[in-house]
Structure 1
Amino acid sequence: MLKKVISSHKFPYLLFHLPTVPYIAWLSLKARSLFFYGACNPIIHHNGGGSRASKTYMLRNVDRKWLPTTILVEPDRPIDQIETALAAKNLNYPLIAKPDSGERGKGVVKVHNRDELLAAVRGKVHNVLIQEYIDYPYEYGVLYWRKHGERQGHITSISHKDLFHVVGDGTRSVWELASAQKDKKPFLDKAKELNKDRLDYVPVKGERVVVDFVGHRGRGTEVVDAGHLHSAEMLQVFDNITRDINGFYYGRFDLKAISPDSLQTGEGLKILELNGTASVPMHIWDPRLSTYHTYRELYRHWRTIYEISRDNHKRGIPYISFSDAISYLRGWLKSDQQEHA
């Protein structure tokens, strides 16, 4: 019962993490820094990523085959220049627009035409990424880490994100099928907005139609522990992906895949985002896992961050200063207010 409550998307995020605060405080005391985690991934905090983690900066050295085709749009860039850049990359609608610096699916929109594209980029504080829409059927979160000097890393969480979708029965419309899912009621307004052009569409029997493309619990996604997919072959894939990301040691990959086998071979795999220490092992949201397991994993999560940060600090990588932490918080609040404006 308790796990069901704390796993709800309505349960306050900060309250959920409250039981980890004493442990984080203890780790901060041992590190002699409240912001020890800043040494974990210097590519984010100390290597040009800015006050907030830049998605493009973190992934700039990753082989293009792993990434969606993307352009970076600076604030208030003229729409004609944006369309020229899209044409040069052979990018066509629909497209995904999202903040280059953002978290938890905030500000991510699907654009279908010029007017929606203009609305997605107009008046933004931070750069915006415009990406090809990857319509692969599977989405995963993979938490990977590797200490400095290690040849092989570690995968400590694999989660399957089952996006809010409907399955056709040949008689009911997309909207009727979505409305029939009582547990999805809190997400129907957003789904209606996203699917206004196909609410009356009647999918054939067995046809799967995704009604919300953002893989987040606050958008109706169900998270399932997929730890059974872990293998030496999968680990090798992620070792290869991360080998050239200098200054990255810990984080979660959010990926699209053609099939579960894509995680084992790398074929049909696209990286949507790479998140740093602000990410969590997403499999903990699986309602089948106990509350004890959830917080045990979160304690392990923070212990690993501390150990990597401590080792990096010994090599001369600084922790985050108090003034930089305040600057980051101000930037986060400003962006958060803008995305909800």
Structure 2
Amino acid sequence: MSVKTFFSRIANWELWSFNVIYAPISPVWLWYAIRSRAFWFFTPSNPTIDFGGFEGEGKKEMYDQLPADVIPKTIYIKNDWPFAAVLDAIGANGFQFPFIVKPDVGMKGILFRMIQDEEQLEKYHQRIPVEYIVQEKVDYPVEVSVFYYRYPWEQKGVVSGFIHKELLQVAGDGRRTLRQLIQAHPRAKYRLEEMTHRHQHRYDRVLQEGEIFYLSYAGNHNRGAKFTNLQEQIDDELLTVFDRLSHYNESFFYGRYDIKTTSVEDLKKGRNFLILEFNGAGAEPNHIYDCDMSLAQAYRIILQHWKALYRISRYNNQQGIPYWGFRRGRAFLKAARKHFRLLEEFD
């Protein structure tokens, strides 16, 4: 990393590590734990998801609680299955290449891959150390995130954040190599170690003019996706769609939906969209990124969400939903983080 790149990274808070960003406001989180007399005060927020969806929850438990017509076709694969059994499951469920694979319990786009052929699938299956999912590739052109919360004592919730995502990508010019395009990219240049790990074998390839090359298929900030704030698009029509989802099982009160759709207009009409993920209590209000927001403004938004999370969790607890005990939560979190470290080794 050049000196110029290093200092521009220091100057831009969005490029700081998660721990550095959140350290100054962590006493507020601790205060909510003290007020609740529960270290894991957030666990009743989404009562039917392990740990409230803070970390370590599986995608299956989330998909099973949403309407079937808004979930991409998905099957679950044991990593110790013979590869022939994997092919049988894929064939029996009508999957065609390309499709998506990712760990059932995952985060930050770790081991998220698009599989183009049987050879790639076999390599992935032989490598991945945990259960994973095979999911149809959703070709809707628009990817968005919607942050939604609803106080359990109210019928209507709040859409607090709405962003459009653009996957990390470069466009060829017929002259420069992939390496040169990455080094010149405003976000990818900060991720050279990751880019080398993933794409070194293609570095000398010259992309044709206008050719798009996706550096990552994971649409999250951690993987370099570009976010565009759609705050002005939030209205009652959009809220109605997510109120309906929240009331579907009366248990999703706080979190972020990651969605693909044909258009924002169709999403507002409640049609032509599929939910890729629902992230619960641990969801970051990612509309703080890529919108020229100061760190102070970002902190204000984060703290507003933490307050909502505390109020939802406290109310649900008063209705009889217990907080997780300290030992139970610590054991769950320890196991989840061990799981994620294992995934990172194989990513």
Give the TM-score normalised by the residue count of structure 1: 0.87
Q: Is residue 70 of structure 2 the alignment partner of residue 60 of structure 1?
A: no
- For residue 291 of structure 1, the aligned residue among 290, 295, 298 is 295
Q: Post-superposition shift, 1:52?
A: 2.7
Once structures 1 and 2 are overlaid, which stretch shifts more, 304-313 or 97-106? 97-106
* 1:268 pairs with one of 266, 272, 277: 272
**One of 104, 108, 113 as aligned partner of 2:112:** 108
CA distance in 2, matches of 1:131, 1:321: 35
Whole-angstrom distance in 2 between the partners of 1:200 and 1:46? 47
Whether 2:73 is the aligned partner of 1:69: answer yes
Distance (whole Å) between structure 2 residues aligned to residue 297 and residue 152 of structure 1: 20
Cα distance between partner residues in 2 of 1:53 and 1:2: 32
> Aligned to 1:155, what secondary structure does the other structure show?
strand
Q: 1:45 aligns with which of 50, 55, 68?
A: 50
Aligned residue for 1:295, secondary structure, equals helix
From the superposition, tell whether residues 238 and 62 of structure 1 become closer, same or farther in structure 2 (CA, over 3 Å). same
- Correspondent of 1:12 among 2, 13, 17: 17
Alpha carbons of structure 1 residues 148 and 210: separation in structure 2 relative to 1, 3 Å: same
Contact 1:145 1:250 in 2 (8 A): yes
Counterpart position of 2:148: 144
Deviates more, 1:271-280 or 1:209-218: 209-218
Contact 1:51 1:327 in 2 (8 A): no
CA pair 246-59 structure 1, distance change in 2 beyond 3 A: farther
The 1:182/1:32 distance shift into structure 2, 3 A limit, reads closer
SS of 1:273 mapped into structure 2: strand
Query: What residue in structure 2 maps to residue 202 of structure 1?
Result: 208
Indicate conservation of the 8 Å contact 1:195/1:211, yes or no.
no
Paired residue for 1:22?
Answer: 27
Q: CA deviation at 1:151?
A: 2.3
2:256 equivalent to 1:252: yes
Letter in structure 2 aligned against 1:5: N
The residue identity in structure 2 corresponding to 1:202 is Q
Q: How far apart, CA to CA, are the structure 2 residues paired with 1:70 and 1:173?
A: 39
The aligned amino acid for 1:98 is: K
Identity of aligned residues (%): 27
Q: Assess if the C-alpha contact under 8 Å between 2:56 and 2:105 holds in 1.
A: yes
Counterpart-to-counterpart distance in 1, 2:54 and 2:157: 26
Matched residues in 2 for 1:68 and 1:289: separation? 33
Q: Helix, strand or coil for the counterpart of 2:122?
A: helix
The question of whether the paired residues in 2 share the 8 Å contact of 1:263 and 1:269 is answered with yes
SS across alignment from 1:43:
coil
Q: From the superposition, tell whether residues 17 and 51 of structure 1 become closer, same or farther in structure 2 (CA, over 3 Å).
A: closer
| Equivalent in the alignment of 2:83 | 79
Quote the offset at 1:99 in angstroms: 1.2
| 294-303 vs 324-333, greater mean Cα deviation | 324-333
Task: Compute the displacement of 1:187 (Å).
Answer: 3.8
Q: Please list the CA deviations of residues 6-51 of structure 1 after superposition, one character each: whole Å capped at 9, or x if unmatched.
A: 210xx2211211122111111111111111101111111379x999
Measure how far apart 1:295 and its partner are: 0.3
1:160–1:226 CA contact under 8 A, matched in 2 = yes
Q: Deviations over 1:113-158 (max 9, x none)?
A: 2232233334655421111122333221111112224322211111
- For the residues of structure 2 that align with 1:3 and 1:302, how far apart are their CA atoms? 26
In the alignment, residue 316 of structure 2 is paired with which amino acid?
A: N
**Aligned counterparts of 2:186 and 2:316: Cα–Cα separation in 1:** 48
Moved more, 95-104 or 172-181: 172-181
2:111 aligned partner, one-letter code: G
**Residues 239-277 of structure 1: CA distance to partner in whole angstroms, max 9, x if unpaired?**
223332342211101112222223312333121100011
Structure 1 stretch displaced more, 249-258 or 234-243: 234-243
Deviation, 1:200, is 4.3
In structure 1, the gaps of 5 or more residues are none
Note the C-alpha offset of 1:173: 6.8
Within the candidate set 215, 230, 234, 1:211 is matched to 215
Relative to structure 1, the CA distance from residue 225 to residue 168 in structure 2 (aligned partners, 3 Å threshold; closer, same or farther) is same
Letter in 1 for 2:165: K
Give 3-state SS (helix, strand or coil) of 1:328's partner. Answer: helix
Scaled by the length of structure 2, what TM-score is found?
0.86
SS in 2 for 1:152: coil
> Is the 1:158–1:226 Cα contact (8 Å) retained in structure 2?
yes
TM-superposition CA deviations, 1:48-79 (whole Å, max 9, x none): x9993111111213222212111011231222
RMSD over equivalenced CA pairs, Å: 2.8
> What's the offset of the Cα at 1:160?
1.8
Post-superposition Cα deviations, 1:295-314, rounded to whole Å, max 9, x if no partner, equal 00111111001000000000
Q: Distance in 2 between matches of 1:36 and 1:43?
A: 15
CA contact (8 A) 2:51 2:329 kept: no
Deviates more, 1:115-124 or 1:260-269: 115-124
Tell me the residue number matched to 2:39: 34
Q: Are 1:3 and 1:291, in contact at CA under 8 Å, matched by a contact in 2?
A: no
